């Protein structure tokens, strides 16, 4: 790990949906593992239920990640809670040498009262703020098919309720904001900045950004989150964004050789399902 642009301690390790290579995604068990590993931050996707509760679910539907079926925004929380959270992909898929897990796995490591139940954002915030270990939160709002505008308002209300936001300013842990909001939608990020002007925001991007845009008009937010594929197509993007005063948070980087590639470019944060692998590679385990 020598001759990298940044020291290993400067790279933010972000556990994607918790340590989702090891436990079912978006479960307290997955987030607990991130804290145990000493990851710097955890990523979480939020969607709003029909009755206005923010839940940590990636897909528009619950079919892949639970025993139930249906669209999150068309179900009440009580209906979502009737189904068990499961994972339907092998553990460590894509990482050579890692043993596969059963095709469907339940989250046995969760605290009893939460076991198998969909995770609400408030429960995650309660868990993280009550933990003695400090892990920052990178919360991604998914494009709502319903509830446009309500998601951001509910998110800000929850952050205030758990003391993560005072006025528009985020709480700081070790001199860095304890929470940030990410989205592919510039509109969603603009709404967040109106409600909480000092809350860091990360504009997630899949497509090549026009060079003129990164030179003259910074994308929405304080950081840009390019996909790994985008950085492979355009490695110079990191330098251009840094010169524009923006951090670079790359997603989702799971293979050691891809982690080396991202580190060689000098990114600020790496979002990964394989937080243990990245911590090891950085010599932080
Ligand atoms: O952290 C950003 C990344 O999570 C975006 O993609 O589909 O995993 O939410 P997705
Ligand atoms: Ca996400």
Q: Which CATH superfamily is domain 8-60+120-281 in?
A: Phosphatidylinositol (PI) phosphodiesterase (3.20.20.190)
Going from the C-alpha of 83 to that of each of 15, 18, 77, 101, the distances in angstroms are 25, 20, 11, 21
Instruction: Please choose from 185, 248, 251 the residue to mutate so as to test ligand 1's pocket, defined by most ligand atoms within 8 A of CB.
Output: 251
Comparing CA positions, the residue from 30, 119, 107, 110 lying closest to residue 80 is 119
Give the ligand with the smallest distance to the CA of 249.
1
CA-to-CA distance for 255 and 157, rounded, in angstroms? Answer: 37
CA-to-CA distance for 131 and 112, rounded, in angstroms? Answer: 17
pLDDT digits (tens, 9 = 90+) for 104-143: 555 556 666 677 899 999 999 999 999 998 999 999 999 7
Digitized pLDDT (tens) for each residue of the chain, 285 residues in all? 567 899 999 999 999 999 999 999 999 999 999 999 999 999 999 999 999 999 999 999 999 999 999 999 999 999 999 999 987 654 444 455 454 555 455 555 666 667 789 999 999 999 999 999 899 999 999 976 677 789 999 999 999 999 999 988 899 988 899 999 999 988 899 899 999 999 999 999 987 666 655 544 455 678 999 999 999 999 999 999 999 899 999 999 999 999 999 999 999 999 999 999 999 999 999
Contact 248, 263 (CB under 8 A): no
Burial class (CB in 10 A: 0-12, 13-18, 19+), 95: middle
The verdict on the CB of residue 22 being under 6 Å from ligand 1 is no
- Closest-CA residue, ligand 1 atom 2, reads 251
pLDDT at 217: 45
pLDDT at 152: 96
SS3 content of the chain, % helix, strand, coil (to 5): 30, 20, 45
The verdict on the CB of residue 177 being under 6 Å from ligand 1 is no
- Closest-CA residue, ligand 1 atom 7, reads 58
Asked if this assembly's ipTM is beyond 0.85, the reply is yes
Q: Where along the chain do its domains lie?
A: 8-60+120-281
pLDDT at 83: 95
Give the ligand with the smallest distance to the CA of 45.
2
Q: Which atom of ligand 1 is nearest to the CA of 271?
A: 1
- The structure tokens listed for 179 are 């929470």
């Amino acid at each position: 790990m020598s001759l990298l642009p940044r020291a290993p301690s400067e790279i933010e390790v972000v556990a994607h949906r918790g340590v989702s290579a090891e436990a079912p995604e978006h479960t307290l068990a997955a987030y607990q593992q991130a804290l145990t590993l000493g990851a710097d931050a955890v990523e979480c996707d939020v969607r709003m239920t029909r009755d206005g509760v923010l839940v940590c679910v990636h897909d528009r539907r619950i079919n892949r990640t639970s025993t139930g079926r249906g669209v999150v925004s068309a179900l009440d929380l009580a209906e979502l809670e009737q189904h068990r959270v499961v994972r339907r992909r092998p553990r460590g898929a894509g990482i050579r040498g890692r043993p596969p897990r059963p095709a469907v796995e339940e989250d046995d490591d969760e605290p009893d009262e939460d076991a198998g139940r969909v995770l609400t954002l408030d429960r995650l915030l309660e868990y993280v703020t009550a933990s003695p270990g400090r892990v920052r939160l990178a919360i991604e709002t998914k494009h709502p098919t319903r509830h446009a505008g309500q998601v951001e308002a509910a998110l800000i209300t929850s952050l205030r309720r758990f003391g993560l936001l005072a006025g528009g300013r985020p709480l700081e842990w070790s001199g860095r904001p304890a929470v940030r909001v990410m989205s592919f939608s510039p509109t969603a990020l603009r709404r967040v900045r109106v409600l909480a002007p000092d809350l860091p925001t990360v504009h997630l991007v899949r497509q090549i950004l026009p060079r003129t845009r990164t030179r003259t008009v910074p994308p929405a937010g304080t950081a840009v989150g390019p996909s790994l594929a985008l950085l492979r197509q355009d490695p110079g993007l990191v330098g251009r964004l840094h010169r524009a005063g923006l951090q670079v948070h790359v997603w989702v980087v799971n293979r050691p050789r891809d982690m080396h590639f991202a580190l060689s470019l000098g990114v600020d944060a790496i979002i990964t399902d394989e937080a243990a692998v990245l911590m090891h590679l950085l010599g932080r385990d």
